[in-house]
Amino acid sequence: MRLLGRSELKVLLQRPEETSVSIYMPTQRTGDVEQGAIRLKNLLRNAEDKLLGMGLRQPEATHLMEQGWALVDDPLFWHHQGDGLALFTAPDIFRYFRLPYHLDETVIVSKRFHVSPLLPLFANDGIFYVLALSQNKVRLIQCSRDAGREVTPRTLPGSMADVLQYDEFSENLQFRSGPTQGAAGRGNAMYHGHGEGKDVAKDQLIRFLREVDHGLHEALKEEQSPLVLAGVEYLVAHYREVNTYQYLLSDDVDGNPDDLSPAELQNRAWPIVEAYFAREWEKALARFGEGSGRGLTLTRLDDVVLAAHDGRVSALFVAMELQRWGRFYRDERRLELHEEYQPGDEDLIDAAVVGALMTGAAVHVVAPKHVPNGEEVAALLRY
C-alpha cells in the first residue's frame, strides 16, 4: 500500500502546467463494492465532460481517463479501501491514494493537481501515527481524529523472529540462530546457554528495535506527524533508546497491542495526541500574535498567495473546505478572482497551500471561526 507522504506530494506538485484531473470521493472499508464502482464511474464521466469543455477532443479525454476507468471493474481494488480515495491523472502520470478520513465528491480539471483535500495528511493538526510494537508483530497505524487504518510499510520487519531468524526461541532464552542473511544481515551460527541469556536477549532485542527504527525512518522520513508507541513497558522503554523519529510523543499506549484493531489503537492514542495538538495550536496562535505586532502577518488572499509563492510564509492558516476560484498569473504576479468556477480556473486557496507546503511552511487547517482575525486565510511571514 502506497503511503502518501511529502515525497509523493512533491511528485504531484513539481510538474509543468498541463491538463490535470483531480478526483476525490468517499469510500467504505467494507460494504457494497458496486456502490463504490458506480460512484467512481460517475466522477470519471464528470471529469471527461470537463475535459471536453476545456477543448480536448473525445479520444484525448478518453485516453487521459483510461487508467481511472480500469479501476472501476477491479474487484481487488475495491476490497482494499480506506475512508476516502484521491485519484490524480495527467498526460504522463497516474496516482491514487487511499485516505484515512471522509471527504466530499470533487472533480477538478485545471493546469495542475488540486491538493487541498489532502491537507489533513500534512497539516500540523491533522494526521498522527501509532506504532504497535511487540516481539511477535509490528504494525504502523495511520490515524485521524475519527479513524485509523493499518499502513505498515514493507520497510518494517514483521516480527523479532523475522529480524533474527531464530530457529528456536524458548522461554528460558536458550536458542540456536543460523547465519543471518536477512534484515540485519550479520553474524554466524551461535549456541547460547543460560548464563549469558540476559545479555544475549537484550542485545538481540536492541538489534530488532534498531531494525524497526530504521524501517520506520524510511517510511516517515519526510513526515512531521506525531507518533505514539503502543506496547508493553519494557519494550517501549528500549525502543525509546534507539528511536530517531523526531516527532515521537512522550506518552504511550501501555499493554500488548497485538489483539487491538486499528480503530482501538486510534481510540486509545487520541487523548495523547489531542493534548499535543492543543499545545501546538496555542503555540501557533501565540507566534501569529507576536508576528502581527511586528508587521509580519497577511490576511488578504492575493497577498497570501504571492507570499507563499515567494517562500516568505512561515505558517499558513486556512479555513477547511473553503474554495476561491480564479487565475494566478505567476509571471505577472497577479490574481484574478471569479465568483464561480470557470473552465481553466484553479482554487486560489489551494495555490497558497501549495506554495506554503513546497517551501516548508507549517499549515493549519481549521474551522472558519478559528482562522486568526476571522479571515478566510492568514499567513505568518518569515520576513
Q: Are residue 148 and residue 270 in the same domain, yes or no? A: yes
Residue 288 lies in a domain: no
148-196 tens-digit pLDDT: 889 899 999 999 998 887 434 444 444 444 444 444 443 443 434 444 5
Q: How many domains does the chain have?
A: 3
Residue 205 lies in a domain: yes
Distance (Å, rounded) from C-alpha 71 to C-alpha 25? 14
Mean pLDDT of 285-305: 96
Categorize the per-residue pLDDT at 360 as very low, low, confident or very high, splitting at 50, 70 and 90: confident
Residue 46 lies in a domain: yes
Q: Are residue 271 and residue 149 in the same domain, yes or no? A: yes
Q: What's the helix, strand, coil split of the chain in %, to 5?
A: 40, 20, 40
Q: Are residue 139 and residue 262 in the same domain, yes or no? A: yes
Q: Are residue 155 and residue 205 in the same domain, yes or no? A: yes
Q: Range with the lowest mean pLDDT among 20-24, 71-75, 213-217?
A: 71-75
Q: Are residue 132 and residue 261 in the same domain, yes or no? A: yes
Spatial neighbors of 313 by CB under 8 A, at least 6 apart, are: 304, 307, 352, 355, 356, 359, 361, 379, 380, 381, 382
Q: Look up the pTM and report it.
A: 0.74
Mean pLDDT of 27-47: 86
Q: Are residue 262 and residue 137 in the same domain, yes or no? A: yes
Q: Are residue 260 and residue 136 in the same domain, yes or no? A: yes
Q: Are residue 161 and residue 197 in the same domain, yes or no? A: yes
Q: What range does the domain containing 317 cover?
A: 295-381
Q: Are residue 206 and residue 79 in the same domain, yes or no? A: no
* Residue that finishes a domain, picked among 230, 251, 277: 277
Distance (Å, rounded) from C-alpha 177 to C-alpha 189? 6
> 3-class SS at 171?
coil
The conformation of residue 166, written as its DSSP 8-state character, comes to B
Q: Are residue 235 and residue 272 in the same domain, yes or no? A: yes
Q: Are residue 134 and residue 270 in the same domain, yes or no? A: yes
Percentage of the chain lying above the pLDDT 90 cut: 56
Q: Are residue 307 and residue 267 in the same domain, yes or no? A: no
